[in-house]
Chains A and B, each alone.
Chain A
Amino acid sequence: MMEKNHYRWMLVPALLFLLLFIYIPVARGAVMAFQHYNLFDLSTLRFNGLDNFKAVITDKNISFAQILLNTVVWLFGSLIFQFVLGFGLALLLRKPFAGRGLYTAFVFYGWALSGFAIGLTWAWLFNGQAGLVNDLLIRIGILKQPIGFLSNPRLAMMSVIIPNIWYGVPFFGIMLLAALQSVPNELYEAAVLDGAGSVRKFVSVTVPYIKPTIVSTILLRTMWIVNFPDLIYAMTNGGPVNRTNILATQMINKVFKEYDYGQGSAIGVIIMVLLFVYAILYLKIVEDSKEELL
């Protein structure tokens, strides 16, 4: 009995931190989404039903459909390449070679860097006056004049997705490499005895074995990309003409520029609901495909 009490007490500090600074604020944020809450005019603080949601969705200056579409493009444009390139890197690193430890340190360290500082770094690479990308393209002869990648409405989204891919590859590399290294060698040996080639080994042994890692990393990364405004905030802050404005950056703008906490919280609630639905559908589809295979 004494024993159990000890274990309880040891949990208290951590749970207190989570309750006070995560769970209560989240609940409070959900309530705010239904309130008129503007920092400039706190005397008008009151419940206003669904007004914030209506205001956000029917905004005349910033089309909500456009922001949703941007969010989807930003998510899948980043996620697919992050995954494919990260998986490729993990496969290349599976078998040991001289200097692998040092090599992995250099290709993985992007994970540890600040998304905001990385955004600024790429803003400089894509700079319209003296950016490296312009310089390279002019040297190769593709361009004659430098172009403004971040101010061009047709190029801006691509120009923020590329750094996000760069930033996300190490995460998939780290996680998938660890999963690959956990595949028992006997499985490969057995597959070879059955006459499997390398493609067959990959499809029938590697992928099924590491599938749980693939499923969970893709889901987690999805949430993470949708909730990651830092990079766009540093590079374009949603511009030009809202071409890179995603839900997360729109929320930051509502809070930091308009001080409209009610509408900002409403966007936050929309993001969480969308992600929740997405997670359930995603896990359901993964479950169903498992049954089909059986």
Chain B
Amino acid sequence: MKRRSPYPIVRFILLALYLLGAIFPLYWIFITSLKGPKEIYTMPLQYLPSKASLASYRKLFSFSNFSTYFRNSLVITLISSLLAMAVSIFSGFSLSRYPVKRTKGILQLVLYFTQTIPTFIIMVPIFTMFTKLGWVDRTGALMLVYVATVVAFSTIMSKGFFDRIPTSLEEAARIDGCSMFQSLWRVILPITRPGMAAIFCFAFINIWNELFLAVMLLMSNDKMTVPVALNSFISKAGISWDVMSAGIVIALLPTMIVFGFGQRYIVAGLTEGSVKG
């Protein structure tokens, strides 16, 4: 007889520790946002607030234009993610089916190389370029930059998904008289829907979280995005943690929701392209 291994218990304890570590910082910022401004700074700290209050959130939305910033972020993120998804459906499909091997290899190199370029290297040249074009402080221009920052990885992901679909499927559609676009639209896209969802989620998360390009390229207060607004809460005098904690919670929620729904697809997509974290 084998003696009973202690592994299951050790494993259980370790998994519980990981879970605690992953959740606790976020639990803490959430709890802070529900405390009153006095309770926040009183030691010893309350690990469960005596009574939940929404005062910080009310303050957040009344003293700053936070609902405007939230709407800006949402509009910018949704439009540029959808655009990035559309662009990379075509580029990924083309790359997956491209007939010339050498060109295909070069194109992939061009895509992978972008993953090593830090965003802040392109920040200044884009700013000077936009100054000349009169595009500074234009939401639409920022959206174009955002599409560009995610389109390489989205293409790599999308190519991976199309690679799994046998070409015989579109060939059959072609024989039935479909054009290439029709066969892509009617036959192939419907079966790669999870893949497209992954691309959308990936783009959404990256664009929603972007700070420095938005700080650089947007000027007017009423155009600011959520990260830029949080950045503006940091003042020389310090940070009011009641309002800030509420702001952080609101900033984190959308990507948490997107990750919650799209987790399975995102994991598949990430490992497909096995690139950027």
The residues of A with any CB-CB pair to B shorter than 8 Å are 3-4, 6-8, 10-11, 13-15, 17-18, 20-26, 28-29, 32, 88-89, 92-93, 103-118, 120-125, 127, 129-130, 132, 134-135, 138-139, 146, 163, 166, 168, 170-171, 174-175, 178-179, 213, 216-217, 220-221, 223-224, 226-227, 229-230, 234, 248, 251-252, 255-256, 261, 264-265, 268, 271-272, 275, 279
Contact = CB atoms under 8 A, between A and B. Distances in A.
A18 B14 contact: no
A118 B255 CA distance: 13
B169 interface: no
A198 B153 CA distance: 37
A25 B90 contact: no
Given A21-B145, A26-B117, A112-B205, A125 B125 contact: no
Contacts of A227: 118-120
Given A24-B129, A88-B14, A120-B239, 18 more contacts: A11-B94, A14-B151, A17-B151, A22-B122, A25-B121, A112-B266, A114-B211, A116-B231, A120-B244, A121-B26, A122-B25, A125-B28, A127-B241, A135-B45, A221-B277, A223-B116, A261-B128, A265-B124
29 contacts: A4-B100, A7-B98, A8-B94, A13-B87, A14-B88, A17-B147, A18-B111, A20-B144, A21-B147, A22-B122, A89-B18, A92-B18, A106-B22, A109-B263, A112-B255, A114-B211, A117-B230, A120-B230, A124-B245, A174-B270, A221-B277, A227-B119, A255-B120, A255-B124, A255-B216, A256-B216, A261-B128, A264-B124, A272-B118
Given A21-B148, A92-B14, A248 B120 contact: yes
B277 A220 contact: yes
A155 B85 CA distance: 43
B259 A17 contact: no
Contact of B43 (A21, A25, A130, A271): A130
Q: Which 5 A-B pairs have the closest CB atoms?
A: A21-B148, A14-B91, A227-B118, A114-B209, A112-B259
Given A26-B121, A121-B25, A14 B116 contact: no
Contact of A20 (B93, B121, B148, B205): B148
Interface in B63-94: 87-88, 90-91, 93-94
Interface of B: 11, 14-15, 18-19, 21-23, 25-26, 28-29, 32, 40-45, 87-88, 90-91, 93-95, 97-100, 107, 110-111, 114-126, 128-129, 144-145, 147-149, 151-152, 155, 180, 205, 208-209, 211-212, 215-216, 227, 230-231, 234, 239, 241, 244-245, 248, 251-252, 255-256, 258-260, 263, 266-267, 270-271, 274-277
A226 B27 CA distance: 29
B122 to A, nearest CB: 4
Contact of B41 (A106, A130, A166, A268): A130
Nearest to B104: A7
B22 A107 contact: yes
A166 B18 CA distance: 10
Contact of A17 (B23, B87, B252): B87
Contacts of B208: 114
A220 B22 contact: no
Contact of A14 (B90, B180, B256): B90
A135 B152 contact: no
A28 B125 contact: yes
A89 B17 CA distance: 10
B19 A111 contact: no
A252 B91 CA distance: 33
Nearest to A135: B45
A11 B148 contact: no
A146 B43 CA distance: 10
Contact of B94 (A7, A20, A166): A7
A8 B98 CA distance: 8
A134 B133 CA distance: 51
A134 B44 CA distance: 10
Contact of A268 (B15, B120, B147, B274): B120
Given A29-B121, A111-B277, A252 B26 contact: no
Contacts of A104: 263
Given A166-B21, A174-B270, A175-B274, A252 B147 contact: no
A72 B88 CA distance: 36
Nearest to A107: B22
Contact of A178 (B97, B227, B271): B271
Contact of B11 (A21, A92, A108, A129): A92
Given A220-B277, A227-B118, A175 B98 contact: no
Contacts of A117: 209, 227, 230, 248, 251-252
B84 to A, nearest CB: 8
